[in-house]
Each structure stands twice: as structure tokens, then as C-alpha cells.
Amino acid sequence: MTTTDLPAADIDALYATHLTTLKQRADTALARGGFDHLLIPSGSLHYQLFDDRDYAYAVNPQFKAWLPLTRVPDSWVVYTPGQRPKVIFHQPFDYWHVVPGAPSGWWVEHFDIHIIRKPEEALALLPGPATRCAMLGEPQSALGEYVPNNPDAVIQYLEYHRAYKTPYEIALMRQAQRLAVPGHRSAEAAFREGKSEFGIHMAYCSAVGQDVGELPYHNIVTLNEHAAVLHYTQLDRSAPDPSRSFLIDAGASFHGYASDITRSYAFDRSSEFQALINAVDVAQIGMGQGVRAGVDYRQLHVNAHLTLMGILKDFGVIKVSPEAALATGVSAAFFPHGLGHPIGLQVHDVAGFAESDRGGKIPRPQGHPYLRMTRVLEPGMVVTIEPGLYFIDMLLQEVKQNGHASSVNWARVEAFRPYGGIRIEDEVHCTEDDPENLTRPAFAEVR
């Protein structure tokens, strides 16, 4: 999928408004921090110790907020309030590697662009003195007297407001969904053909047209019991016999914005495990409908525990009420992670706990240490909704050790253990009105 899938006039207008928003945010952030200039390096290559091989390059997310550029190390965005922003674009003389093409696209008319051939040539183009600059980046991006200082007042303001996606960002995030869905369709087909985890992963990458260096995170591709490992990335080369279940957590990148989608399947569509998947799927859609302005995400998470425990009660896996399972920690053994997280320029996007744009942290609910979002939902926010049910030996053993063995029907647990677990994940946009599920329409487009 290319930018031509987005009407040029539409993306141009959306980007112009997006850039205006970024300038306004930068103006306020710089004033709060007492700085005159904002410098954002794209980042540099990191080389392995005792070797001349570099690690996979990851662009500074602060940089790609301004530009749809993700593969231009040693470049810069320079912004001074009241002035036209500047891009210092590193286009080296290099016959060892592919050199970035000339700057082009919907963003170029909004910047003064300066081409440099060596990283140190940026020094003559950076505003001074360096002490008056807020420089956001990694230590490796230091250049002469310009050293990243990442001032708290600036970072807190910019990251807090990054939670509110502009219409331009929402458009790119929709495209990231559409890119990922053919991969999910191909992965399911490969599972039903009896392919290994590695084979399924390769089918996904081929359909998406992105490899591990381009995908927003390492694909989680699990068969059978491996679905009980939340971040399983081992990718066995041999398929199990039989393949009973399949969980895939995989996304795609589009101009720096990520999608993050999870689906679960049973090989036997008539099995009880597929019925359990179907129940979680219906519940997940309902949870997504709760992404509304003014709703505390922490409460959504707690409500998800109650809903999922209701499903386990209906399937005979637990013997106690959902409320009792939540109060005793039994629910956390089956649903040990958070309901979701902010998403955008980063998969686990920033400021999920921010109390305000001046700092502070909103605590997680007691007993829920892995929740990644504690803010009240507001229009413009995009979050994942990813409930899960798992049969994890380590956590189930803790239920027994904690004196709650009688809350669980262990025969039912044994029946489901070979399937590992279930997770279903969509991205949901909080609006002024009904929530917008960004993921499900993309699946409806690709049958």
C-alpha cells in the first residue's frame, strides 16, 4: 500500500494542519522550558561492540512526529518559534549503502531543506548557542557542543499532548491497519495449511511487504501451548502435530505509525476452544464500545476482568463469581496483562500514565502492575483493547499456593491447557461521540 491510497489533496491538507498543531505545541513547550529553539535529531546508527556491524536503526519518534521519514539517520528537524521550520537532510556520498533519495512528498513545501553530505556539516546549520536549545534525542546524537538535554518541561508537555492524535495521524494509522490485515489473512491460511510458526511468520511478512526491520515490533506467532507465553517470539521451524490453536500478534508500519493487531484461532472451528474464542471476541467488541470521552481507562480494565471471568464461569473453568475471582487475584492468573495501551508513533506510545502536561503519574489500580494506561479517555486518543485468557502453568500454580485452588475447576483447565490461550486486539479511536474501531473495518475490506 502506498501514499496513493490517500488522496493527495486530503493528505496535504491534513499534514498542513498537523504541522500547525506541532508548532503550537512546540511554542508552549519551549516557553515552559525557557528555551529558544527545538532541535530533534533523527538518530544515528549504533554499532556492535568489537564489530563494524550496526544494530537495526530506529528513528527518533520525536523526529517522525514532524516528518514521514523513518530511514534518514544523522538528519535534523530545527524549529524556532515564529520562523519556518528547517530540515537538515543527510544524504551522504556512499557506495556501500543505499543513499536516501532527494526529499519529496507532501511535507517538503513546509520546510527549508538543507542537504548535508557528512553528519558534522549540520553544525553550521544549527542555531546557537547550544545552551538555548532543547535537544530531544539519544546521547549518541550529540554533535559538538550540541548534546541532547531532553528537558523535563519540554518532554512532559510534548509527550502528554501526543496522546491527542491529529486527523493526519488518524489517517496514517488507518493505513497501518489496512497494511497489516492481508498479513493476518495469510497467516491464518498458513496455519490451516499446517505450516510452522516460522512459516506462518514468513507468510505474514510477505503479505504485508515488510520485514523485521520495518515492522513496528517482533511478530508474536504461536501455536498450541506457546500462546501461553505472552511475548513469544521464538518461531519454531517445525509444525506441531497436531496444530490445535493459533495466536498472532502482529502489526505494520506506515510512515512511522504503528498498527498492533491480535487474533486467535482454533484449527477445529467446531471445537469448544473456538467457542471460547468467539465469546472473547464478542466481549472484546463490547469493551471497545467503552472507549468514550470521560471514561477512566483503569475502570475499563477492571470491567474487562469481570467480563472475562464471567466467560470462564460460563465455560466451567472457575467456580466462583467474577467479583470473587477479581478480589482474590484468581482473575489475574487467567488475564495477567493490561487491557491495552496508547498507540501511535510508538507501539506502546508515551504518556499513558501522565497526570498532566506538567508531569505527575496516575497510579495503576492495586493488583494490576502491568496496565499501561491510567488516564481518562479524551477525544483524539487511540488505545488498544486487547483482552486475553491464558492457561499459564506458573500463574495457575500460584493460585494453588495462595489458597484459592477451590475457585478453579482443574479438569476444565487441563482440557484447555493444550491450546495455550486467547488474545484479541483492536485499536479504538476515542471521539466526541461513538468510538471508532480502526481495525475491524480493515478486516471487513479483506475477505
The tens digit of pLDDT for each residue in 258-288 reads 999 999 999 999 999 999 999 999 999 999 9
Q: Has residue 3 got a pLDDT over 70? A: no
The string of DSSP codes covering 240-308 is: -SS--EEEEEE--EETTEE--EEEEEESSTTSHHHHHHHHHHHHHHHHHTT--TT-BHHHHHHHHHHHH
Cα–Cα–Cα angle for 211, 76, 357, rounded to 5 degrees: 90
pTM: 0.96
In angstroms, the CA 442 to CA 187 distance is: 16
Q: Where are the domains of the chain?
A: 3-162, 167-445
Per-residue pLDDT at 9 exceeds 90? no
pLDDT, tens digit, for every residue of 154-195?
999 999 999 999 999 999 999 999 999 999 999 999 999 999
Q: Is 95 helix (H, G, I), strand (E, B) or coil?
A: coil
Backbone angles phi, psi at 160, to 5 degrees: -60, -45
Q: What is the pLDDT of residue 6?
A: 64
**Rounded distance between C-alpha atoms, residue 430 and residue 435, angstroms:** 5
Distance from chain centroid for Cα 7: 25
Whether cis (ω within 30° of 0) applies to the bond prior to 435 is: no
**Residue 1: is its pLDDT beyond 70?**
no
Q: What CATH code is assigned to 3-162? A: 3.40.350.10
In the chain, the amino acid numbered 186 is S
Q: Using an 8 Å Cβ cutoff, are 40 and 77 in contact?
A: yes
pLDDT band at 379 (very low <50, low <70, confident <90, very high): very high
Task: Please say if the pLDDT value at position 424 is more than 70.
Answer: yes
In the structure, what pLDDT confidence band is assigned to residue 7 with cuts at 50, 70 and 90? Answer: low
| Mean pLDDT, the chain, integer | 96
Q: What percent of the chain lies above the pLDDT cut of 70?
A: 98
* C-beta of residue 44 within 8 angstroms of C-beta of residue 95: no
Q: How crowded is the C-beta side of 306, counted as CA atoms within 13 Å? A: 10
Which CATH number does the domain 167-445 belong to among 3.90.230.10, 3.40.50.720, 3.40.1010.20, 1.20.1540.10? 3.90.230.10
The pLDDT tens digits for 143-164 are 999 999 999 999 999 999 999 9
- So what's the pLDDT on residue 4? 42
The three grid cell numbers given for residue 99, joined into one nine-digit string: 543513499
